[in-house]
Amino acid sequence: MKTFFSEDHRLHFPQAELSGGQFVTPYERPSRVEYVLARLKERQVGEIVAPGVVDLEPARKLLDPGFLAFLETAYDDWKAAGQGGEVIAAGMPTRRQRHDRIPRNIDGKVEYYCHASETAITGGTWRAAQASLACAQAAQAEVAAGARAAFALCRPPGHHATSDQYGGYCFLNNAAIVAQMMRDGGAGRVAVLDVDFHHGNGTQDIFYHRGDVLFASIHGDPLDSYPYFAGYADETGEGEGEGANINVPFGPGTPYGPWAEALDGVIGRIKDWGAEALVVSLGVDAYKDDPISFFKLDSPDFLDMGRRIGRMGLPTVFCMEGGYAIEQVGVNTVNVLEGFEDA
């Protein structure tokens, strides 16, 4: 399996995030990728290739143009306004406030376009986000050309980014854009399977009213875990999208047994739905020692996860999402890929 990776991910490295009432080194940091790369090379999973130039046209089909323009200029606008540090939202619109007008002031724009203030924008964020998307697009092109699967080692991740908001360490929703590219390439129905511990609220948001892309997620119960306000089992889609949104939340301490049963159930529904191509939002933060998660999957479980996904027999693009137990993120990620290839 070919991996697509860009060194430009290093351009995005916020110096702090607010966690537990104090500023800490962000859990989503460049060293995550280094562990994945090292494991890919150690296991000789396949060629590691730099992507080509990003194509923003597919993103423009899905995302709000004002949001894209904001991401491109936010840091420069922030600095031009005399702000000293990185771009961090001080708040967000709340209930019964106006949501129909975008402030002129950069502080207000940041609050309008952000849904989680742990996510900072730096001088290199926009370039890194574009490079992350370029990796996903290159993986999609590889599969479109006939490969069974490809791995986009995306950083920053994408599945929490909605059509018009960033947050949860995410800026451009790589998995959603790849799904749209698969549709544009001729796939009648595309499924996005999100195995990250945290619900892919951004992907759900983008496809919630569509019946041609099925979104399925197994994740921590939003009563107990970020993103808190999406990911409930009764969110099944609306309009043409009714029935094309599947959420399976689990509570603290969930081991692999029930998680795997849920995966089999989701896979069955994807097959019955008639998916012709698959995007996997590959987060490995369901691992038992992840610092910001509460499932109890162990490293061998990720091998089995990959096998179950591989047995679906669909053209598959893997897009890297979360996983913050830094020293194990490489082992767990590569285990999924090797399990898939063994299926």
Mean pLDDT confidence for 313-340? 98
CB–CB of 283/324 below 8 Å?
no
Q: Is the pLDDT of residue 275 over 90?
A: yes
Q: Per mean pLDDT, which range of 14-18, 329-333, 337-341 is the poorest?
A: 14-18
Within a 10 A sphere around the Cβ of 236, how many other Cβ atoms? 14
What pLDDT is stored for residue 18 in this prediction? 85
Q: What is the mean pLDDT of the chain?
A: 97
- The neighbouring-strand residues paired with 217 are 194, 247
What pLDDT is stored for residue 333 in this prediction? 98
CB–CB of 340/310 below 8 Å?
yes
Mean pLDDT confidence for 309-315? 98
pLDDT-derived band at 274, boundaries 50, 70, 90: very high
Q: Which helix (H) or strand (E) holds 277?
A: strand 277-282
* The pair of three-digit structure tokens given for residue 147, joined into one six-digit string: 């490969």
The end-to-end CA distance of the chain, in Å, is: 13
What pLDDT is stored for residue 257 in this prediction? 98
Residue 301 DSSP code: H
Mean pLDDT confidence for 95-107? 94
DSSP 149-195: EEEE--SS--TT--SS-BBTTBSS-HHHHHHHHHHHTT-S-EEEEE-
| Residue 193 lies in domain | 2-341
Residue 12 designated active-site: no
Which one from 159, 160, 199, 219 is the annotated catalytic residue? 160
> What is the identity of the amino acid at 203?
T
pLDDT-derived band at 220, boundaries 50, 70, 90: very high
CB–CB of 159/19 below 8 Å?
no
Percent of the chain at pLDDT exceeding 70: 100
CATH of the domain at 167: 3.40.800.20
pLDDT-derived band at 181, boundaries 50, 70, 90: very high
Give the C-alpha separation, 133 to 51, whole Å. Answer: 9
Give the C-alpha separation, 175 to 204, whole Å. Answer: 11
Mean pLDDT confidence for 52-67? 97
CB–CB of 152/174 below 8 Å?
yes
Percent of the chain at pLDDT exceeding 90: 96
Kindly report, residue by residue over 229-244, the tens digit of the pLDDT: 999 999 999 999 999 9
DSSP, collapsed to helix, strand or coil, labels residue 265 as helix
Q: Is the pLDDT of residue 297 over 90?
A: yes
pLDDT-derived band at 183, boundaries 50, 70, 90: very high
Kindly report, residue by residue over 8-47, the tens digit of the pLDDT: 999 999 999 988 899 899 999 999 999 999 999 999 999 9
pTM over 0.95: yes
Mean pLDDT confidence for 299-327? 98
* The pair of three-digit structure tokens given for residue 255, joined into one six-digit string: 């081991």
Within a 10 A sphere around the Cβ of 215, how many other Cβ atoms? 30
Kindly report, residue by residue over 190-201, the tens digit of the pLDDT: 999 999 999 999
Residues 6 or more apart from 267 whose CB is under 8 A from it? 193, 308, 309, 312
Residue 63 DSSP code: S
- Omega into 227 within 30° of 0, i.e. cis? yes
Q: How many domains does the chain have?
A: 1
What pLDDT is stored for residue 169 in this prediction? 98
DSSP, collapsed to helix, strand or coil, labels residue 305 as helix
CB-count exposure of residue 100 (10 Å: 0-12, 13-18, 19+): exposed
